[in-house]
Amino acid sequence: MNETIDDLSIGGLKLMQAAKGYRFSLDPILLAHFADIREHDSVVDLGSGSGILPLLLARLSAAPKLVGIELQPQLAERAERNVALNGLQERVKIVQGDLRRIRQLLPPAQTDLVVTNPPYRKTETGRVAPDNERAAARHELAGGLDDFVAAAAWLLKNAGRFAIIFLAERLPELLSLMATRGIEPKRLRMIHPRQQEAAKMVLVEGRKAGRPGLTVVPPLYVYRGPGRDYTDEVLSMYESPIR
């Protein structure tokens, strides 16, 4: 498969991606900056793709152990090469496997932070892309939202944190599933393309066995006007100091 090596302009990170097919978007960058990652955290990314989220979090924190779980063998292999490309083999590990069988992959209650940028669309909604990598990134072909939330609940320690970016239109479903799985929603941020436009995406953080109480923080606007110029906040995510 033809690949490109792209400079992400974030802490010198580089990413190998398919020239055509699945390529990362702005979403993992927004999620990486939203997640409450701490110095000694153990971190798991569910549905890691080419490994972008563990790589970003490794650059944005001093977390010593980050694991990416990816179902598709070709993506998992590419993620491993991306870890090596960025010299992060001692901190980042890629596990090829099905998160629906999380109990066979990783032990329970050992993780401080679980992050995920899962497929947003149910299989019966929208056109499924002909490319396997792109289709699995957009549609729930190999696990629905509840599978991701259930895997997070298995992995997290009590008081461990779960951070997700998802479709705003499916927010009620997400909050309900989190509560059902024992992950209390604690922080929420709506993502709007522009001011005066409806939110398209949402960032949510939950805490396993947490106390009730949700904080809705000010919204995030992606573009500054009718064009495609990012707002200062989004631009600052590319300029964040690397720890």
Query: Which pLDDT tens digit goes with each residue over 38-55?
Result: 999 999 999 999 999 999
pTM score, whole prediction:
0.90
Count Cα neighbours of 14 within 13 Å in the Cβ-side half-sphere: 10
The single-letter code of the amino acid at 15 is: L
pLDDT over 70, % of the chain: 89
Q: If 0-12 CB within 10 Å is exposed, 13-18 middle and 19+ buried, where does residue 173 land?
A: middle
Tens-digit pLDDT profile for residues 113-125: 999 999 997 766 5
Backbone angles phi, psi at 20, to 5 degrees: -130, 145
Helix (H, G, I), strand (E, B) or coil at 25: coil
Q: Which fold has domain 24-237?
A: Rossmann fold (3.40.50)
State pLDDT tens for residues 94-108. 999 999 999 999 999
Residues 6+ apart with CB under 8 A from 94: 48, 51, 54, 67, 68, 69, 70, 76, 79, 80, 83
- Computed over every residue of the chain, the mean pLDDT equals 91
Question: Each residue of 130-184: pLDDT tens digit?
Answer: 555 554 445 446 689 999 999 999 999 999 999 999 999 999 999 999 999 999 9
